[in-house]
């Protein structure tokens, strides 16, 4: 069976494109200023164009099949990320985080996502290549994710308060917490606490959970909640993308290009998400398709060839077609818009 492997040229181009682009992004946003919708839209377009440029490179330099697998994985990860960004909005609201501080937290959150995605991809693709039977397990994960999304209540109902999330409570047990935001800092030293906050008989002020030298701020607690929710999200998204292609480099490239644009996409979605009412339905349908595709593929390899095969080109067409249908349906049948 043919494998894409790890071509040195592709690795160097991928790393170089990501490194230069991240530097440009950081340089453009080095000032602590609120990100405008226009700026976020421009950067969202930039990250999409960069991902498509890598697709064009794969298509010209290598077999178009690999390029189609990469683009299908990218489109799937990008669409799945939209639901995760909805959770990020709730987390920021829980901690009262607004403006430029959201961008700062998302920056560090995405660094963590890059690291954890690499671990998940290595483990996931390694398991899949070890035995074709693992594909049935991955298919079950993907279908379970689709069922979970079907069972989720409306976004306006029963919104979770992430300030009481288990990861936040655990952090509070490990570190003393200063319960007020302090500029854009994740931590504050005891000497930096305003002098007008009088200490009680236990030696700490009304806005600290206990006395310490260094205190975590709500910004850091928000970052912890973002990271833990993203790790949980990876358990759903990584098997879904691996179901499209089992090539580690293509899977990781698809995920990284999708993730790097999430900071900008977050601010765009914050303004537009109430209009994309039917996109989530398209994503759910995609997950069922991917689960069925993985089951068929695993059956062909582990049990016996059924004679039915879904080519990378057809996978790409179905993924893009269903997402396009979700956007068009949202425009044609707006219904009752979500509350911002």
**pLDDT tens by residue, the chain, 340 residues:** 577 878 899 999 999 988 887 777 666 655 555 667 787 788 888 889 999 999 999 999 998 889 988 988 888 888 777 767 777 888 888 888 887 788 788 888 888 888 888 888 888 878 877 777 777 887 787 788 778 777 765 544 445 677 888 888 899 899 988 888 887 889 988 888 776 565 655 556 667 888 888 899 999 999 999 888 888 888 777 787 887 777 888 888 988 888 887 777 777 776 666 666 777 788 788 788 878 887 887 787 778 778 787 776 777 788 788 878 887 887 787 765 554 4
pTM of the model: 0.75
pLDDT value of position 201: 55
State the angle between helix axes of 64-95 and 100-130 in degrees (0 to 180), rounded to the nearest 10.
Answer: 140
pLDDT value of position 75: 86
**Residue 191 included in any domain:** no
CB 122 within 8 A of CB 266: no
**Residue 205 included in any domain:** no
Task: Look up the domain containing 127 and give its range.
Answer: 8-157+235-332
Domain count, the chain: 1
**Residue 255 included in any domain:** yes
**Residue 99 included in any domain:** yes
**Residue 322 included in any domain:** yes
Pairwise CA distance, residues 124 & 169, whole Å: 30
**Residue 45 included in any domain:** yes
**Residue 79 included in any domain:** yes
Which run of H or E residues covers position 320?
helix 312-332
pLDDT value of position 35: 67
**Residue 326 included in any domain:** yes
Rounded to a whole number of angstroms, the distance between the first and last alpha carbons of the chain is 49
């Amino acid at each position: 069976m043919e494998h894409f492997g790890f071509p040195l040229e592709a690795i160097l181009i991928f790393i170089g494109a990501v490194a230069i682009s991240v530097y440009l992004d950081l340089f453009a946003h080095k000032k602590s200023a609120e990100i405008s919708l226009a700026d976020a839209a421009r950067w969202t377009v930039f990250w999409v164009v960069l991902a498509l440029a890598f697709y064009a490179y794969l298509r010209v330099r290598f077999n178009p099949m690999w390029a189609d697998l990469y683009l299908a994985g990218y489109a799937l990860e990008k669409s799945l990320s939209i639901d995760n960004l909805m959770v990020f909005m709730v987390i920021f609201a829980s901690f009262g985080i607004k403006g430029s501080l959201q961008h700062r937290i998302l920056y560090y959150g995405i660094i963590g996502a890059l690291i954890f995605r690499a671990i998940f991809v290595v483990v996931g693709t390694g398991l899949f290549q070890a035995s074709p039977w693992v594909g049935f397990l991955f298919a079950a994960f993907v279908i379970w994710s689709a069922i979970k999304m079907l069972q989720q209540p409306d976004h306006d109902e029963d919104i979770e308060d992430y300030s009481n999330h288990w990861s936040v409570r655990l952090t509070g047990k490990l570190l003393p917490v200063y319960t007020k935001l302090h500029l854009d800092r994740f931590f504050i030293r005891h000497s930096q606490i305003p002098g007008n906050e009088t200490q009680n008989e236990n030696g700490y002020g009304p806005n600290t959970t206990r006395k310490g030298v260094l205190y975590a701020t709500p910004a850091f607690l928000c970052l912890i909640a973002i990271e833990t929710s993203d790790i949980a999200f990876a358990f759903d998204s990584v098997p879904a993308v691996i179901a499209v292609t089992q090539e580690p480099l293509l899977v990781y490239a698809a995920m990284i290009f999708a993730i790097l644009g999430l900071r900008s996409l977050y601010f765009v979605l914050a303004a537009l998400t109430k209009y994309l009412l039917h996109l989530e339905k398209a994503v759910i349908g995609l997950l069922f398709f991917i689960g069925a595709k993985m089951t068929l593929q695993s059956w062909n390899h582990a049990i016996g060839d059924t004679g039915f095969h879904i080519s990378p080109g057809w996978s790409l067409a179905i993924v893009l077609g269903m997402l396009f249908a979700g956007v068009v349906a949202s425009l044609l049948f707006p219904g009752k818009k979500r509350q911002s």
